[in-house]
Amino acid sequence: MSAGPPRPLDVAVRLLARAPRSIAEIATQLGRRRFAREAIDATIAALRERGYLDDAALAHRRAEDLLLRRGHGRLRVAYELTRRGVAASVIEDALATVMEGRRDAEFARLALCRKFGHDSRDRLKDASARARAYRYLIGRGHPPEAVIEVLGDDDSR
């Protein structure tokens, strides 16, 4: 085993072994460990060449996971990927691919059914239940217009 200082490529591979990361996340982590900018750039180039770093694939997988499996909305997906340093154009492409022409309201409806059950329309008759559902969907990153469309107009006003 080598007793010398860790190489940036070794550090990056260990980071990627724990969880998928964006290019910006790897660059930030290597920078925190005080590697030279040239070494960071060379490491990122090597990882991209080997297929270990791909922001488009990361964005697609994460968007798919959040939208389809976890019930989050488009706004939450965009926020998380932006926070991870993924370019806006890559995020838009990933969302367009995963949403496949489906509307935001469809994803909000799925999230609502997961949380409140398939008979959620019956359960959301009173104002407090509707307010709770509204807060839940907004908090999950669904656009307000989609949430309003799913919950419908409040007839009791």
Q: pLDDT tens digits for the chain (157 residues)?
A: 456 788 999 999 999 999 999 999 999 999 999 999 999 999 999 999 999 999 999 999 999 999 999 999 999 999 999 999 999 999 999 999 999 989 999 999 999 988 887 666 667 778 888 899 999 999 999 999 999 999 885 544 3
> What angle (nearest 5°) sits at the alpha carbon of residue 59, between those of residues 55 and 60?
120
pLDDT of residue 125: 78
Q: Name which of 100, 27, 87 is nearest 59 in CA terms.
A: 87
User: Which helix or strand (DSSP H or E) is residue 44 part of?
Assistant: helix 37-50
Domain 55-99 has CATH 1.25.40: no
Q: Is residue 149 within 8 Å of 105, Cβ to Cβ? A: yes
Q: How far apart are CA 35 and CA 124, in angstroms?
A: 55
pLDDT of residue 47: 97
pLDDT of residue 3: 63
> What angle (nearest 5°) sits at the alpha carbon of residue 133, between those of residues 131 and 134?
60
Q: How far apart are CA 39 and CA 11, in angstroms?
A: 12
Q: How far apart are CA 76 and CA 138, in angstroms?
A: 9
How many residues does the structure list for the chain? 157
pLDDT of residue 127: 86
Q: What is the pTM of this model?
A: 0.85
